Amino acid sequence: MDGTENGGAVATSGPLPTAGWNRHRAGLQVAADTNRTDRRRLQPADPAELPWPAATVVRPLLAWYRRAGRDLPWRRSRDPYRIWISEVMLQQTQVERVRDYFQRFLERFPTVSDLATAAEPDVLRAWEGLGYYRRARQLHAAAGQLVSQHGGVFPETVGELRQLPGIGRYTAAAIASIAFDQPEPIIEANSRRVLARLAGYDQPLVQPRDEEPLWQLAAAMLPRRAAGRFNQALMDFGAIICTAALPRCTACPLAAVCIARQQQRVAEIPRLPAPRAIRRLQETAIVLRHRGRLLVERRQPGEWWEGLWDFPRQLPEGIETVGRRREVGDVRYTVTHHQVSCRVTASDVSSRPRAKRHQRWVRPNELAALAMTAPGRRIAQLLTPP
Of the candidates 5, 49, 87, 303, the residue annotated as catalytic is: 87
**CA–CA gap between residue 359 and residue 362 (Å, rounded):** 10
Which amino acid, 355? A
**CA–CA gap between residue 80 and residue 172 (Å, rounded):** 11
Which amino acid, 370? L
Based on the residue annotation, tell me whether 5 is a catalytic residue of this protein.
Answer: no
On the CB side of 55, CA atoms within 13 Å amount to: 1
**CA–CA gap between residue 37 and residue 160 (Å, rounded):** 9
Q: Give the CA distances from residue 108 to residues 103, 134, 352, 364, in Å, rounded to whole numbers and listed in that order.
A: 9, 19, 36, 24
Contact 263, 197 (CB under 8 A): no
For residue 85, with 0-12 CB atoms within 10 Å meaning exposed, 13-18 middle and 19 or more buried, which class applies? Answer: buried
Q: How many residues does the chain have?
A: 386
Radius of gyration of the chain measured on its C-alpha atoms: 25
Measure CA of the first residue to CA of the last residue in the chain; give whole Å: 41
Give the list of residues 6+ apart from residue 122 with CB closer than 8 angstroms, or none.
Answer: 108
**CA–CA gap between residue 378 and residue 24 (Å, rounded):** 53
**CA–CA gap between residue 359 and residue 309 (Å, rounded):** 9
Q: 322: alpha, beta or left, given left = phi > 0 and alpha = psi -120 to 50?
A: beta
**CA–CA gap between residue 132 and residue 304 (Å, rounded):** 9
For residue 357, with 0-12 CB atoms within 10 Å meaning exposed, 13-18 middle and 19 or more buried, which class applies? Answer: exposed
> What SS3 class is residue 310?
strand
Q: Which residues are catalytic?
A: 87
